Amino acid sequence: MRLVIDGFGKFLGRKGETIVVKEDRKIVARLQPQELEQVIISGKGTISTDALRLLAEHGVDVLIVDFRGEVKARLSSPEMRTVSTRKEQYLAYGDRRGIEIAKAVVKAKLKNQSAVLQTLAKKRLETAPPLAEKLRSAAMEILELLPALEALRGEKVEEMRERIMNIEGRGAQFYWEALSRIFEGWGFEERTGRYAHDPINAMLNYGYGILLGEVWRAVHYAGLDPYGGFLHADRPGKPSLVLDLMEEFRPHLVDKMVVGMVSKRMVSKEDFEIVDGVCQMKEKARRLYLQELLGRLEEEVRFEGLRLTWGRLFFHQARKLAKFLRGELDKYEGFWQRW
């Protein structure tokens, strides 16, 4: 169970061995820490140090995100004692494992982007045939990039990263250009990163921020170094491996949900505002968005003969990556779903 503390006046405290949620100084909920998997503090919610200690004793992660969904702090139990896994992770920079991981991540992302577009095309076959054809065509163009990706060979990921990223970038161009047709009227012109100028990018950024926190937790408990990525280059403070792994999940988990919320008119342009030049969701819309996303994280998906919630799937993939690095698996295969 994930607990979200969002809004001015919300407070998370401790009473004995129980976590209490207060609103305007009145207790509105009591929870046993054993029930909790993660606490997300968004907006202006606050938490006491006593509550932090109790959550830490029970291995509950605390995530603090800002209005953009950007993770500002993450509190978790001490680092996992997995020296062998991390040693192999660093050694993989200098051999072909690094290249294979970067390629597997991009391969999964391309397949998932194509699958999302084909699903959206199928739903619009009768209501909007030209749009459906555009989506289907873009899906095919993305799949046509796979042979070039498979053909890439090299000795070190440092030498191959730019070529792999180039293919990933071409796929992203087809994908977002096609999706922009669905987002017509929302001011969406292109995928932008940190500072959104339109509602669609604001929703995507917020969702990716929550996803980053979830994947980070999985990477941590798998004993991997979150900063040692393969597809994303190392930079101070940048959790490159987390960014690598979350590429597999963005299209089906976040992008499709944003399309769904827009198509079903669950949000309107009035639910957004520009603050200091950045587009952000107003509080009511943000709560609805979080409710949708956290609900999706509890949904089950099928992969490799297993039925897993999205949250469990992140752990499954992170542990699989660790096993590949330690030589317990012959290859690492990214998560992807058919349409």
pLDDT digit string, tens, across residues 84-143: 899 999 999 999 999 999 999 999 999 999 999 999 999 999 999 999 999 999 999 999
What is the pTM assigned to this prediction?
A: 0.85
211 contacts 243 by C-beta, under 8 angstroms: no
* Percent share of the chain, pLDDT over 90: 65
Collapsing DSSP states into helix, strand and coil, what is residue 156?
coil
Query: What does the CA dihedral 314, 79, 74, 267 come to, rounded to 10 degrees?
Result: 0
Mean pLDDT for the stretch of residues 150-173: 95
**210-221 per-position pLDDT tens digit:** 999 999 989 998
By CB neighbour count within 10 A (0-12 exposed, 13-18 middle, 19+ buried), where does 253 fall?
Answer: buried
What is the average pLDDT value for the chain, to the nearest integer? 91
